[in-house]
Amino acid sequence: MSEISTRHQTGAPQNLEQRFAARAAGMQPSEIRALFAVASRPEIVSLAGGMPNLSALPMKMMASVVNDLILTNGTEALQYGSGQGHPKLREQICEVMALEGIRAHPEDVVVTTGSQQALDLISRIFIDPGDVVLVEAPSYVGALGTFHQYQASVVHVSMDNDGLIPDALRDAIKTTRAAGRKIKFLYLIPNYQNPTGVLLPADRRTEILDICRKEEIFVVEDNPYGLLGFDRPSPNAMRAEDSENVIYLGSFSKTIASGLRVGWALVPPSLKDKLVIASESSILCPSNFSQMTISNYLADQPWRDQIASFCELYKVRRDAMLQALEEHFPASATWTKPGGGFYVWVNLPPEIDTKLLVPKAIVAKVAYVPGTAFYADGLGSWQLRLSFCHPTPERIHQGVAALGGVIKQEIERRSSNKLN
Ligand code: PMP
């Protein structure tokens, strides 16, 4: 019998769970991942995933960038590179960040495999089991997953339609410290937040920076959507105001191509070496091929115009979604009106459980992500995230109409149950 078939017959080794490290218990599939398999069926309108829409990216142009790179510089592009990232790309990253008011030195930039890897590295450097990480309520599911794996205790801080509330942050710090717990950093997404789409105004940015500086809490500013403002440019990055206490994360996933997997961290100089060492131990170095593709693209192509094309594409979809919500959602629902990014956040009447509603939505051929995915503490049961980035405006309309029908039916069913 071949080794492969023996393995299939015997299954997993005994007591596997006991053999794992304690932190493996935190390695659970996210609710979004489980949804993706269903949501990617062609008959389903997926308002679930946050996949960038690459239909606006001219593929012939990308092919020629890659072709030229390999023909002129293939031996470097296909070789290992620097652990900190390609020097030329790090300079160009500083030019990109200048668009959001950041003045940075390429020496303080560490290129990562998407900003997701930067989140992992920062967590590895800072979090001991039980340490507190403050995050917005709700927050990015991928960050929550990473913090969970490092056994952090996640404390959510309230938001409103203008993002994180400074007074709520003061309260959360006070209560957490009064309970004798250590706060390691505040993680937030100031621009077109995932999952709510809201924008943190400039005055709140300053106030939050002041609080965190005084309280000696690092700010991790995650900014993948900052250049995707549809109606006006976003305010300056928080890092533009504070170079000592902010760890800034950037990404080319939404402005060029997520498949190249290039992001970065801009860190205070005192943290740079730790970050590079941590990164080298996990990946040796980020892909030279991806970095040089992006570097040549930035050097030779009209990348600002390309970002404007992406914004145009997403704005049409945002408008389609907001219009469809007005037309098809019940009067008791409310939602955010994002000025950029990928997402709308919906509040339903509290008796509606959006997780239990997923199978009914799938039958109606529409997928979304239930709100609980974006909280570490089980909240969000009557909320949901809709993403408008990928489907066509017509499909968005169709999907929102179908979901509106499912929600209205559920509200009716509950009120007739109450009457009976
Ligand atoms: N942060 C946020 C808020 C995100 O939405 C995402 C991707 N959806 C990431 C980080 C990770 O992006 P990437 O690794 O592709 O740069």
Q: What is the residue-wise DSSP string for 87-100? A: HHHHHHHHHHHHTT
Q: Determine if ligand 1 sits within 6 Å of the CB of residue 189.
A: yes
How many whole angstroms separate alpha carbon 375 and alpha carbon 392?
A: 29
How many whole angstroms separate alpha carbon 355 and alpha carbon 334?
A: 18
Are the CB atoms for 354 and 371 separated by under 8 Å?
yes
Distance 140 CA to ligand 1 centre (A): 8
Q: What is the CATH number of the domain that holds 402?
A: 3.90.1150.10
Q: Determine if ligand 1 sits within 6 Å of the CB of residue 222.
A: yes
Domain match, 335 and 289 both: no
Q: Determine if ligand 1 sits within 6 Å of the CB of residue 221.
A: no
Q: Determine if ligand 1 sits within 6 Å of the CB of residue 387.
A: no
How many whole angstroms separate alpha carbon 196 and alpha carbon 11?
A: 42
Report the nearest-CA residue for atom 14 of ligand 1.
114
How many Cβ atoms from other residues are within 10 Å of residue 151's Cβ?
Answer: 16
DSSP symbol at 254: I
Which residues constitute the domain of residue 161?
Answer: 80-300
How many whole angstroms separate alpha carbon 374 and alpha carbon 376?
A: 7
The H or E element spanning position 46 is: strand 45-46
Span 314-348, pLDDT tens digits: 999 999 999 999 999 999 999 999 999 999 999 99
Which atom number of ligand 1 is nearest to the Cα of residue 262?
Answer: 16
Specify the pLDDT at position 271.
96
Domain match, 372 and 277 both: no
Domain match, 99 and 225 both: yes
Listed residues 241, 271, 300: the one ending a domain: 300
Model pTM score: 0.95
Task: Supply the Cα-derived Rg of the chain in whole angstroms.
Answer: 22
CA angle 205, 145, 318 (to 5 degrees): 55
Distance 115 CA to ligand 1 centre (A): 6
Q: Cα separations (Å) of 182 from 126, 142, 309?
A: 11, 22, 44
Q: What is the CATH number of the domain that holds 257?
A: 3.40.640.10
* Among 311, 271, 264, 329, residue whose Cα is nearest residue 290: 264
For the chain, residues with pLDDT lower than 70 are: 1-10, 30-32, 419-420
Report the nearest-CA residue for atom 8 of ligand 1.
50
Distance 32 CA to ligand 1 centre (A): 14
Q: Determine if ligand 1 sits within 6 Å of the CB of residue 224.
A: yes
Listed residues 300, 333, 363: the one ending a domain: 300
Specify the pLDDT at position 213.
98
Q: Is 5 among the domain residues?
A: no
How many whole angstroms separate alpha carbon 330 and alpha carbon 3?
A: 58
Which atom number of ligand 1 is nearest to the Cα of residue 261?
Answer: 15
Q: Determine if ligand 1 sits within 6 Å of the CB of residue 290.
A: no
163 φ/ψ sector (left φ>0, alpha ψ -120 to 50, else beta): left
Q: Determine if ligand 1 sits within 6 Å of the CB of residue 123.
A: no
Specify the pLDDT at position 2.
47
Answer whether the bond into residue 138 is a cis peptide, omega within 30°: yes
- Paired tokens of 64: 């020629």
